[in-house]
Structure 1
Amino acid sequence: MGRELRDFLKELISIILIAFVLAMLLRAFVIEGRIIPTGSMLPTIQLQDRVMVNKFIYRFKEPQRGDIVVLEPPESLHSDQDYIKRVIGLPGETVEMKNGRVLINGRPLSEPYLAEELDYEYGPVVIPEGSLMVLGDNRNHSFDSHMWNVWLTTDRLKGKAFMTYWPIKHIKLLDRGVSFE
């Protein structure tokens, strides 16, 4: 084997190793792809869609209403699977669900991403400091904060889903989409 070929192979192997290490670091700390295993976020995210999750964002900023988050469910739920839900209520807010709507501090939310109105009532409750209320977009068929009987603390957030990347026909950025009426 000639010297040029050996040098080329060494360089190729070092490039592959560096790329592999960088990919593992990015996946562990910055960005990760996730497959959606349930229909709790329909119609926004379809069953088996793949989303990109920014795992770094909540080290620098607080979650915002409308963020779609990947989370480790509260310990008392005894689940080893991560959930994906939308942030609806923030610390210190009063949340109530009645007449098919979500009310935050008495003001109704406009949620154009929902396929149907709520068919249940909940609250009013005040969200404790360091906690969030998260709901699936498929509200009437989502196991979320209104059913847990325990608060989701912000330390259980794993990241913010910001884009659907697969299948190709579903590629889109995931907007907050929520506002007050």
Structure 2
Amino acid sequence: MAVGARSGHEEPGESGKRLEDGRRDRSEDGGGGDDGGEMAGKKQRSFWKELPILVGIALLLALLIKTFLLQAFSIPSDSMQNTLQRGDRVLVDKLTPWFGGEPERGEVVVFHDPGGWLGDTGATETGAVAGGVQKVLSFIGLMPSAEEKDLIKRVIGVGGDTVECAKDGAVRVNGKALDETDYLYPGSTPCGDKPFGPVTIPDGRIWVMGDNRQNSLDSRYHQNLPGAGTVSVDEVVGRAVVVAWPVNRWQGLPVPGTFDQPALNAAGAAAPVALGFAGAVPLVLWRRRRLIAREFPVSPQGRESAAEKAQPGG
């Protein structure tokens, strides 16, 4: 009986061992391989189910980036040589305008045709299939648009500035000559083909010119149109910040140093300073009266005598 009891106690252990061995044996016989195949199949099916979601998220992010952050534009002409060459792809900062930033002198900006600048030359013809693909890619910002009529030029003057240029002279902003040797196309003159001015730029508008002056139909050539050659800041898409393609032309597009001259802002800076002083004087007087009223809280008749007594020797 004791042996039987001991044997009976050992059977569960032996049974458990056989169960474990059996499981191990099935795995070794290839049963585990079937389970692995099923799991691999599930994983594979899961990937294909998730792929459309990943593609959708990628396209959504691309669309958001194009709408609010950066957009690629292709350079279609030679008007901005040598800064930009025909066929270059530039990335344009679209975020700054969303926060109220306006174009500044010296920046290279992309803007919509203000009306009549491009005529019928803005759109390009493509095949039906190629055109459809390009429309989709340009919509999400992965390819420049073939239909939008956009231009790219350098900002020379902003609202409130006076710009001018004599035939054999330099471009002047608020009477100060610009040194344009850093970006002007070699052999170009500042405005030898089309002198202009003086022109006072209205608030909220800009005066733009190409770097290849003798091959650029810029503000100088559209003074007969509404806006008198100036462009509304509302038409500005954004500032071109970098040449992204081709790879061997990677470069930033900084503001040339000549636009940092203090004299350019001298005319416009005086008015804000004067207005600041004019607004500060009433505030200072009002604050002084309040301090006196707190220190001498008496009737108007007694305030004067109290103030006199408070003076040294009173």
- The alignment's TM-score, normalised by the length of structure 2, stands at 0.54
Aligned pair in 2 of structure 1 residues 16, 30: CA closer, same or farther (>3 Å)? same
Counterpart of 1:136 in structure 2 is 210
- Aligned pair partner of 2:178 in 109, 119, 122: 109
Q: Spell out, residue by residue over 1:77-113, the C-alpha distance to the aligned partner (whole angstroms, 9 max, x if none).
A: 3645210000000111110112331101110112221
Counterpart of 1:41 in structure 2 is 80
- Equivalent pairs, count: 181
The ranges of structure 1 where at least 4 consecutive aligned residues each deviate by more than 6 angstroms after the TM superposition are: none
- Say whether the 8 Å CA contact 1:65–1:178 is kept in structure 2: no
Larger Rg: 2
**Whose strand proportion is higher, 1 or 2?**
1
Distance 2:50 2:233 in 1: 44
Q: Which amino acid aligns with 1:139?
A: R
SS in structure 1 at match of 2:183:
coil
Q: Which has the higher contact order (CA 8 A, sep 6+)?
A: 1
Unaligned runs of 5+ in 1: none
Distance 2:118 2:215 in 1: 19
Counterpart of 1:71 in structure 2 is 111
- Aligned pair partner of 2:169 in 82, 90, 100: 100
Distance 2:208 2:239 in 1: 13
Counterpart of 2:158 in structure 1 is 90
Q: Which amino acid aligns with 2:91?
A: M
> Aligned-pair distance for 1:117?
2.1
Unaligned runs of 5+ in 2: 1-37, 123-148, 262-314
- The alignment's TM-score, normalised by the length of structure 1, stands at 0.92
Aligned pair in 2 of structure 1 residues 70, 54: CA closer, same or farther (>3 Å)? same
Q: Name the % identity.
A: 39
Counterpart of 2:90 in structure 1 is 51
**Whose helix proportion is higher, 1 or 2?**
2
Q: Which amino acid aligns with 2:94?
A: K
Q: Which amino acid aligns with 2:220?
A: H
Distance 1:62 1:28 in 2: 17
- Say whether the 8 Å CA contact 1:109–1:178 is kept in structure 2: no
- Say whether the 8 Å CA contact 1:73–1:83 is kept in structure 2: yes
Distance 2:161 2:177 in 1: 13
- State the superposition RMSD in angstroms: 1.7
- Aligned pair partner of 1:161 in 237, 240, 246: 240
